[in-house]
Structure 1
Amino acid sequence: MLQNTWRRYLSTASRPVAMEALRNLIIIAHIDSGKSTLSDRLLQITGTVPAEQLQDRTQFLDSNPIERQRQITIKARAARMKWGHHRITLIDCPGHHDFSRQVSQSAGAVEGALLVVDASKGVQAQTLSSVELALEAGLELLPVINKIDLPTADIDNARDQIEHLVGLDASDAILTSAKQGIGIEQLLNAVVARLPAPQGSPHKPLQALVFDSYYDSYRGVVLFVRVVNGVVRRADRITPMSLAESKEHLDRPTEYVVDSIGFLEPHEVPCNQLHPGEIGYLTAAIKRVGDVPVGDTLTHCGDDAAEQALPGYEPSRAVVFCGLFPTDSSDITSLHVALQKLQLQDGSITFEPDSSAAMGTGFRCGFLGLLHMAVTQERLETEFGLDLVASTPSVSYMIQTQGSDEWTLVSNPSVIPHGHVKIQEPYARVEIICNQDHVGALMDLAQSRRGDLKDQRYIGLDRVKLVYSLPLAELVTDFHDAIKSRSAGFASMNYEIEGMRQNRLKRMDIHVAGEQVDGLSTVVHEDSAFSDGRWIVKKLKDVIPRQMFKVSVQAVLGGKIIASEHISPFRKDVTAKCYGGDANRKKKLLKKQAEGKKRMKSIGRVTIPQEAFLAILSGKD
């Protein structure tokens, strides 16, 4: 009986829905615009997820524990919903700049986007960046003004900013309160009426875009696909077109057999086939990381293969680098395997073997930003049970040594030679949107970080847009936190890489107890080297634990000590049991203690805590 019911369910799930009844869309918004809460209400109103489940777990699509702990979306999630005769597939995308790759990947799988704007804050910087990605993908935008129930909501101002900043008619923007459930049905009706249906033909050769994936220890790689043309069924023989066209990696399989397929509702619902315009998951015993990369096109093997692959994605470029080292050297293999698995789910992570005299063997990893770095380290520790230490983050530099005409790209400051070296650093175009009351404070901040003002203009009555050209090294540390601090939390920022510029830069090393800690090496501007050195050693003095001997912390520039601090030792009262008597007895005990500490100092090694490597990131402002 149960088997027959399951067969009927599979048959129903596999029936093709008319393409005119399909809608595929993403949600884009700045952080804290109510995007995930809006997804919850859509799932509830359409009956996709029972209301009692949403009461037990809000932000339903944010299933990762780190997402729920930080209350941000890190990984895009898809959910297929039923609204009348239509099937709507929603992809909830991250709002933070570090995870913008998720937006661009998901945008390639849909035709429309909900542009969610906070009614109390208006259009913010990351909103504009996400809009650009959506427009580049040719998506139809549907403006949604959320949080209209707040006392500070200004709907007219939000409409005005959407029209002037985004260039989108907001006169018929959908007004919602995801928290109160206001306007959700109107939004669903607008999705059906105003967003386009997908295009494609079931009679053409199969073309399925891989827009995301994750690794399952039992099934191998699970691919999230959007079928553009053709039909993919269970037991079909498929091939990734990137491998079929490449003469490299000949040891990789070029043919797979589909062993499971289905929809995301948002849990996996199996079916027998996916048709054009449909979004679902697919497994085919893909066991190795990177065999079918995100952005690849799947097609059938043999004569039924498509002639041309779908447009993929531009490879992301890491902008922040740090070394990750296991505290137990025997975990190096486990760290390598964990990084490979994470790279499958997040192709923007890069890593290569690295070694440090202070921290041993590990990997030099590249990330899209500091939050991306912190989340990745946290995932490695929580999901794979690793105990890691990360070196101080840095950006990549171009260096040219004396007597050479070639420029070399380096991502580790400790390998930059001392002496006459020309150094280029990356610059970014930074857009800051703030209230006019905070313009002066934010301009002072940008100028203190070597920023050049490129543009300043008013947006509406009391909002200002500042555009700066800023060194990326100044940007990826605590710049975002400093902006929030100086604007009482109201300013927002976004940036994009401009290129490299040569500056008067030097490598600065940090010595602890007479030994160089290469994980603390940084690149500083000559004009601020002495102040930076004094500030860093003071910060390190506060976070490095006291020892039984005095520990010196020194900033060294070109072989010269430019700043120094000392960490006082613990002192044991060795004369505590001497109650009067000959003073020479006390002197003898103190002298013996001093000689013991001298020997300890010569052989003692100071353990550098993780806080020391992160202390350099905290603000000087």
Structure 2
Amino acid sequence: MKNIRNFCIIAHIDHGKSTLADRLLEFTNTITDREKQDQLLDNMDLERERGITIKSHAIQMDYEFEGEQYVLNLIDTPGHVDFSYEVSRSIASCEGALLIVDAAQSIQAQTISNLYLALDNDLEIIPVLNKIDLPSANPDEVTDDIVGLLGCDPEEVIHASGKTGFGVENILKAIIERVPAPKGNPDGPLQALIFDSVYNSYRGVETYFRVINGEIKKGQKIKFVATDKEYFADEVGTLKLTQVPKKSIKAGDVGYLITGIKTASEVKVGDTITDALNPTQEIIEGFEDVKPMVFAGIYPVDTDEYEELRASMEKLQLNDASLVFVPESSAALGFGFRCGFLGMLHLEIIQERLEREFDMTVITTVPNVSYHAYTNKYPDNMILVNNPTDLPEPSTLNRVEEPFIKASIITKSDFVGPVMSLCIEKRGEITNQTYLTTERVELSFDMPLSEIVFDFYDRLKTVSKGYASFDYHPIGFRASKLVRVDILLNGQPVDALSALLHDSTAYGIGKKMCEKLRKLIPRQQFDIPIQAAIGAKIIARETIKALRKDVTAKCYGGDISRKRKLLEKQKKGKKRMRLVGNVEIPQQAFMAVLKLNE
């Protein structure tokens, strides 16, 4: 065990984690020249196209240092705030972390938040200054920032470049010298932590685990503690670029397990694996439960595909434990699921993965957050409102509380004004303003979570010319004056387009939604009124004019009353049509509500 090192790579998005991981793999000869490619560990097409890491990726490297053989288990983690749950899982299975900071961009919001995650788990932090080959790099200044953040010596900061491979040897040396070897009892009862899993249509569920105590052998009878089910370990092995089967995996090491499980719900990430005959008495304290921030309905376009969608979501949940869903039904869209996501990017990625990996075409409803409602009859009983349609009637409502977050924004001092006015427009209250250096400011705001769900991140990047980084964590619920805005089409409410909005913005957003829908819904044979309503009060209206045929074309000359008679006849027909006609809503209409400012 003394020659095993488990470490992960943490950083803000786009600070060069995956590129540096590629260099580490090349330097330790884990991959051959033929297997080389950029972002090697990002094995999803979606990750390559967008240039971001979505999943944590574990891989094992063998390295000889001062005449001894070492086994290095590396986990490359995502940098985006929406995938911080992946990071927390990776951190739970490591003893050390490489904290990578871009020499040109310096410390960003996500750098700090990932650092705190690692410090909470008592990880040994190795600071790495990456991209020092860039012309815009500021190595001395950024080293001072890192020293200020970590309280380490300037000599401890390793200078490196993921592009050229400079400094990789120093990083490997630091990992071996500074990261502690895993602790554990190799002779005790088996105790292993599941930190990830993936569904393989040929072999069932593949579970990735880290052995804390004991060892896991091929053919051994094992037990999953949370589900209390027993299986045989058909195959165990280590994670190189491809899976390498082994006879056994010992304490301190990371590996994969195949038991032939076909149902996705039987494997829980964070669960403990133990021996069925000699079980451990202690369950490993896994990472905290995921707290979804944004909720949206996902419905199959074809209602017959509901069961297929359920199976696809379960398989996806195996691979992305931060996705939570419960069944729900909607009058407009039939049966589907209410899903919880960690943010808007997460929602977008899940929708795209459902379409690519499982060939499911889905409709996503307007995202919202969950609220707490209290009625006059039972002022102490909290009603959880995940869907605007769950909100009690306004006449019985006592108060509604919405979730607030503490947002921390790090930006250049030139952009403090525009960033502040954006946050205040989004009902934010500034709580702190700290100058990290003369150029860089950290602003802290208390804001309602619902205000950052839609377009906040995009607009923040726009007003700061891409120089602001944003991170947040929940701080509880506060009472707010919220109203439910319903959209009526042809007099019928469309539940999938309802939204809970603050009283001050309800009128403006209702009007914009009506205008947007008027452009997107195709014209019919009859007039379609689009209305926004709060309770029984209509606050905005737009009308889609009917397609009309010129019925007076064949009527030339003669008395005007002949023309009027034909027009009246047409009017009656249109009225009858409007009573029986129903309006098809295109998919773009549901998503357009998110982009009201465009």
Task: Mark yes or no: TM-score above 0.5.
Answer: yes
Structure 1: how far apart are the matches of 2:500 and 2:155?
50
Structure 2: how far apart are the matches of 1:221 and 1:393?
31
State the secondary structure of the residue aligned to 2:332. Answer: coil
Structure 1: how far apart are the matches of 2:576 and 2:478?
48
- Percent identity at matched positions? 45
Structure 1: how far apart are the matches of 2:515 and 2:48?
35
State the secondary structure of the residue aligned to 2:595. Answer: coil
Q: Which amino acid aligns with 1:232?
A: I
Structure 2: how far apart are the matches of 1:414 and 1:170?
57
Q: Is the 8 A contact 1:23 1:196 kept in 2?
A: yes
Match of 1:34 in 2: 16
Change (3 A) 1:603 1:169: farther
Equivalent residue for 1:73, pick from 39, 46, 53 = 53
Q: Is the 8 A contact 1:319 1:366 kept in 2?
A: yes
Structure 2: how far apart are the matches of 1:121 and 1:377?
31
Equivalent residue for 2:306, pick from 320, 325, 332 = 332
Match of 1:531 in 2: 508
Equivalent residue for 1:462, pick from 439, 448, 462 = 439
Equivalent residue for 2:392, pick from 395, 413, 417 = 417
- 2:198 matches 1:198: no
Structure 1: how far apart are the matches of 2:477 and 2:456?
20
| C-alpha deviation, 1:617, in angstroms | 2.0
| C-alpha deviation, 1:619, in angstroms | 5.4
Match of 2:366 in 1: 392
Deviations 1:583-611 (A, max 9, x none): 97877776665554434333222222222
Match of 1:3 in 2: none
Q: Is the 8 A contact 1:482 1:619 kept in 2?
A: no
| C-alpha deviation, 1:289, in angstroms | 2.6
Structure 2: how far apart are the matches of 1:235 and 1:180?
45
Q: Is the 8 A contact 2:518 2:543 kept in 1?
A: yes
Deviations 1:9-35 (A, max 9, x none): xxxxxxxxxx22211111111111111
Match of 2:413 in 1: 436
- 2:586 matches 1:609: yes
Q: Is the 8 A contact 1:160 1:460 kept in 2?
A: no
Deviations 1:333-368 (A, max 9, x none): 111111121222222222222111111111111111
Match of 2:341 in 1: 367
Q: Which amino acid aligns with 2:322?
A: S
User: More deviation in 259-268 or 172-181?
Assistant: 172-181
Structure 1: how far apart are the matches of 2:536 and 2:139?
60
Match of 1:289 in 2: 264
TM-score normalised by L of structure 2: 0.94
| C-alpha deviation, 1:90, in angstroms | 0.8
| C-alpha deviation, 1:75, in angstroms | 1.0
Q: Is the 8 A contact 2:516 2:596 kept in 1?
A: no
State the secondary structure of the residue aligned to 1:62. Answer: coil
State the secondary structure of the residue aligned to 1:317. Answer: coil
Q: Which amino acid aligns with 1:141?
A: I
| C-alpha deviation, 1:331, in angstroms | 0.5
Match of 1:82 in 2: 62
- 2:232 matches 1:257: yes
| C-alpha deviation, 1:180, in angstroms | 2.5
Match of 1:96 in 2: 80
Q: Is the 8 A contact 2:12 2:111 kept in 1?
A: yes
Change (3 A) 1:193 1:559: same
Match of 2:244 in 1: 269
Match of 2:382 in 1: 407
Unaligned runs of 5+ in 1: 1-18, 245-253
Match of 2:540 in 1: 563
Unaligned runs of 5+ in 2: none
Match of 1:230 in 2: 214
- 2:118 matches 1:134: yes
Match of 1:381 in 2: 355
| C-alpha deviation, 1:484, in angstroms | 0.3
| C-alpha deviation, 1:213, in angstroms | 0.8
Map 1:448-459 onto structure 2 (within 5 A).
448-459=425-436
| C-alpha deviation, 1:544, in angstroms | 2.8
User: More deviation in 209-218 or 580-589?
Assistant: 580-589
Map 1:184-223 onto structure 2 (within 5 A).
184-223=168-207
State the secondary structure of the residue aligned to 2:114. Answer: helix
Map 1:42-81 onto structure 2 (within 5 A).
42-55=24-37, 58-81=38-61
Map 1:580-619 onto structure 2 (within 5 A).
594-618=571-595
| C-alpha deviation, 1:164, in angstroms | 2.5
Match of 1:489 in 2: 466
Structure 2: how far apart are the matches of 1:611 and 1:29?
35
CA RMSD of aligned residues (A): 2.1
Structure 1: how far apart are the matches of 2:178 and 2:138?
25
Equivalent residue for 2:518, pick from 520, 541, 545 = 541
Q: Is the 8 A contact 1:74 1:94 kept in 2?
A: yes
Q: Which amino acid aligns with 1:104?
A: S
Deviations 1:255-306 (A, max 9, x none): 211100111112211111101111110112223333231111111122x322
Deviations 1:438-460 (A, max 9, x none): 00000001101111111101011
State the secondary structure of the residue aligned to 1:498. Answer: strand
Match of 1:12 in 2: none
Structure 1: how far apart are the matches of 2:124 and 2:353?
35
State the secondary structure of the residue aligned to 1:446. Answer: helix
Q: Is the 8 A contact 2:267 2:318 kept in 1?
A: no
Q: Which amino acid aligns with 1:429?
A: K
Structure 2: how far apart are the matches of 1:571 and 1:538?
22
Q: Which amino acid aligns with 1:273?
A: S
State the secondary structure of the residue aligned to 1:242. Answer: coil
Structure 2: how far apart are the matches of 1:453 and 1:290?
43
Match of 1:119 in 2: 103
Equivalent residue for 1:351, pick from 325, 335, 338 = 325
Equivalent residue for 2:485, pick from 508, 518, 538 = 508
Q: Which amino acid aligns with 1:79?
A: I
Structure 2: how far apart are the matches of 1:120 and 1:449?
31
User: More deviation in 162-171 or 560-569?
Assistant: 162-171
| C-alpha deviation, 1:541, in angstroms | 2.5
| C-alpha deviation, 1:167, in angstroms | 4.0
State the secondary structure of the residue aligned to 2:266. Answer: coil
